[in-house]
Amino acid sequence: MQRIVPTIWFNRNADEAAEFYADVFPDTLVDARVPHPESGETLTVDVLIDGYRVTLLNGGPEFGPTPAISFFVNFDPSRMEDARGALDRLWNRLTDGGIVLMPLDRYDFSEHYGWVADRFGVNWQLMLTDPAGEPRPYIIPNLMYGGQARQAVDDYAALFPGAQVGTRVTYPDSGEVMFSEFQLYGEWFTAMDSAVEQPFTFTPGLSLMVNAHGQEEIDRLWNGLSAVAALERCGWLQDRYGVSWQIVPDNMAELMARPGAYQRMLGMGKLVIDEF
């Protein structure tokens, strides 16, 4: 089981988005549709992109993704036939109806890279990687901070058992983080500080859902992450850096199958297994 699953909030069009991603990304399929227990409409739908699970939440207009959390899509010439061509084909599909934040071009850190917010507002950084470097997963979530990346990564690494902090490159003038890699539960993430002030920040439009094993782990992660008591609802929390997390039992599907479980969950802040 993937322990941390990015969850993207959509405005009543999660099914449409799922079909779009299954069409434009290679080796991608739609998986695990969950209906709303009252209306029967799609509540969440998962897509598996090269085996990496992302949950699409069929919400409303309240929230949406921002560039504060994006996804690196790594094209490795040593592992992928025609990596550059594959990158270009995906770029053309994602930019159709989207907004280019950084044009597809050569940069100091990659000979072929571009950043796009697709037609649904989800941000993707497409990168042709150095075949001489260590291999990385196809999809890696990236978190953009405003000067807090170092402390945030260190805090997460201290909280999650077995976490690892890898490469960390800093800006020479400020010492803030230009790029940092870390792993939680063996899953890859990257973090960075923006070099300039940005008009966006983290929102519940893209949260990180943690599949926790048992109440003890739920309690420990909840206590270590939650920083705004007023925002604790239905297993959702916001940490001190503004990142939204969902801390859920890893047998959530089983718990939600119990009669009345959905209504009981709506009354919870932190999820308590014995109260389902």
- State the average pLDDT over residues 157-171: 97
Task: In whole angstroms, give the CA distance from residue 264 to residue 262.
Answer: 5
- pLDDT for the residue 3: 98
- pLDDT for the residue 171: 95
- pLDDT for the residue 131: 87
Answer yes or no: do 118 and 178 share one domain.
yes
Answer yes or no: do 59 and 73 share one domain.
no
Last residue within a domain, chosen from 193, 220, 249: 193
Answer yes or no: do 156 and 246 share one domain.
no
Residue 70 has pLDDT above 90, yes or no: yes
- pLDDT for the residue 37: 87
- State the average pLDDT over residues 233-258: 97
Q: How many CA atoms lie within 13 A of 156 on its CB side?
A: 29
- State the average pLDDT over residues 192-211: 97
Domain harbouring 10, CATH code: 3.10.180.10
- Go through the chain and tell me how many residues it has: 276
Q: How confident is the model at residue 244 (pLDDT cuts 50, 70, 90)?
A: very high
Q: Tell me: the pLDDT tens digits for 103-117?
A: 999 999 999 999 999
Overall domain count for the chain: 2
Answer yes or no: do 77 and 167 share one domain.
yes
Answer yes or no: do 230 and 157 share one domain.
no
Answer yes or no: do 93 and 123 share one domain.
yes
Domain range for 13 is: 4-63+202-275
Answer yes or no: do 32 and 137 share one domain.
no
Last residue within a domain, chosen from 193, 212, 231: 193
Q: How confident is the model at residue 198 (pLDDT cuts 50, 70, 90)?
A: very high
Residue 230 has pLDDT above 90, yes or no: yes
Mean pLDDT for the chain overall: 97
Q: Express as a percent the part of the chain with pLDDT over 90.
A: 96
Answer yes or no: do 265 and 187 share one domain.
no
Answer yes or no: do 188 and 76 share one domain.
yes
Answer yes or no: do 185 and 210 share one domain.
no
Answer yes or no: do 103 and 42 share one domain.
no
Answer yes or no: do 75 and 131 share one domain.
yes
Residue 100 has pLDDT above 90, yes or no: yes
- State the average pLDDT over residues 225-238: 97
Last residue within a domain, chosen from 146, 169, 193: 193
Q: Tell me: the pLDDT tens digits for 11-53?
A: 999 999 999 999 999 999 999 899 998 899 999 999 999 999 9
